Amino acid sequence: MFVIGGIDEDSNRIIVEVDESKFGKRKSHKGHRVEGVWVVGGVERTPERKIFVTTVEDRKKDTLHLILSNYIKEGSEIRTDCWKGYNGLARIPGKRYRHETVNHAKEFKTAAGVHTNTIEGTWNGIKSIIKARHRRAPIMK
């Protein structure tokens, strides 16, 4: 399994931005639910921009914690939005994660410089490549 993040050669935590996105298609009306599949991904904020992307059944805390534990190395600094499923990341046994958040209802970048703009841009790039009609569970898995 490919894992990202960790500690760099200068003993600094590598920042990994994490987000979830619904890959799907609106049936015909704006504002209606999007049918499709949930995808969780992370991107290193390094020159290499290593990423992981995986489908998930739901966005519950247990699901997200398991995924992130599998794909993100011990000691990483994880930056997310304030979705409740990310609560407690810093307390996952043995991982020593630092968890920073940005509340998108208030701002897209905190005064301390915390943001998830890199992973949000990654979703836009991936979605521009995958046509909406192909963003369904059987195809994405």
CATH of the domain spanning 15-25+33-131, picked from 3.30.420.10, 3.30.70.20, 3.10.20.30, 3.50.50.60: 3.30.420.10
Let me know: does 140 contact 39? Beta carbons within 8 Å. Answer: yes
Tokens of 56: 């998930």
Query: What ranges do the domains of the chain cover?
Result: 15-25+33-131
> 129: pLDDT confidence band, cut at 50, 70 and 90?
confident
> In the 3-class helix/strand/coil scheme, how is 102-120 assigned residue by residue?
ECCCCCCCCCCCCCCHHHH
CB 4 within 8 A of CB 16: yes
> What pLDDT shows up at residue 23?
87
Higher pLDDT, 140 or 28: 28
Please give the torsion angle defined by the CA atoms of residues 114, 118, 124 and 129, in that order, rounded to the nearest 10 degrees. Answer: -160
45-75 pLDDT per residue, tens:
999 999 999 999 999 999 999 999 999 999 9
Output the pTM of the full model.
Answer: 0.86
pLDDT for 78-113, tens place per residue? 999 999 999 999 999 999 999 999 999 888 888 888
The β-bridge partners of 16 are 44, 78
Strands 34-44 and 15-26 turn out to be: antiparallel
Average pLDDT over the chain reads 89
